[in-house]
Amino acid sequence: MDPVITVQHLRKTFGATVAVEDVSLTVGRGEIVGILGPNGAGKTTTVEIIAGLTRPDGGRVEILGHDPQRDPAAVRQVLGVQLQESRLPARIRVEEALRLYASFYPEPADVDELIVLLGREDRRRTAFDDLSGGQQQRLSIALALVGRPQVVVLDELTTGLDPRGRRETWALVERVRDTGVTVLLVTHFMDEAEHLCDRVVVIDAGRVVAEGTPAELTAAGAEPSLRLRLPADAPAGIEDALRSLPEVAAVVADDGALRVRGDGRVLPAVVAALDERGVVPTELTTLTRSLEDVFVDVTGVHLEEAAA
């Protein structure tokens, strides 16, 4: 992996409050890496330090070999940032905003191409306050790209958007990555992380508590399990028969059905046992561990609390 962002043992305090205790992570070229964590875990502070907006108390950050604190001008040439609650003057128009930001860079991106990337050519003369929430977010992303960055940081870019706005914003992020830009994405939405991210870093209480691809994280420590519902005329003793199978670790009632956990052979073993007794289940579903399950396991915080 060709590292674009390298963070080692980052630490930041605000008075007696430790915002970031010890965070290390690496982002490779062309990746979309997600940072997840409960409210107050240190996610935004971490990305603000990476972007050079906040000075750390300890640790090291490099973006394409540049330290954001020692060489901020070099970092500004390779990094684009979209932070939470980004706002523009109410009456500035889409094209005006893009051309204004383009004037800050010696070799900016083509404004007309960015408007095409936004997918809203019909909105180039629309005032910022007349855009929908999703359109404002996509404009914020375009402004982060106007300097032709190699890396872009996106912080909670779909908070407050309706499902359509979120999906459209996801599609834009994927188009941005397809142009060769590396993306560091802060989010508390598990479906967003699963849909967009090549890798995920979970931060809790200022520390990295889990890291890997969504598939790696959901597979780690998960026992294969399935849910089945028996027909009304199923013979007595089926539950005991399933519990006696060597492949089965547990059988528990689940809202009128049975949830069965076991080893990698639990599914064929259960199906064979049912077939021997002439039982055809009315429902049979294999269960997989979700990224939400992983999040709750490693942070002890449910998503409603994380987003609060």
User: In sequence order, what DSSP letters do the residues of 115-174 get, joined into one string?
Assistant: HHHHT-GGGTT-BGGGS-HHHHHHHHHHHHHTT--SEEEEESTTTT--HHHHHHHHHHHH
306 has a pLDDT exceeding 60: no
Closest CA relative to residue 257, chosen from 234, 241, 278:
234
305 has a pLDDT exceeding 60: no
303 has a pLDDT exceeding 80: no
Percent of the chain whose pLDDT exceeds 70: 96
- Run of H or E residues at 45: helix 43-50
Give this prediction's pTM. 0.78
256 has a pLDDT exceeding 90: no
Flag the least confident range among 261-265, 282-286, 288-292.
288-292
pLDDT in tens, 157-205: 887 778 887 888 888 889 889 988 999 999 888 899 999 999 999 999 9
254 has a pLDDT exceeding 90: no
Closest CA relative to residue 293, chosen from 226, 214, 227:
214
Give residue 138's Cα distance to chain centre: 17
Rounded to 5°, the CA angle 80-175-188 comes to 65
pLDDT at 255: 84
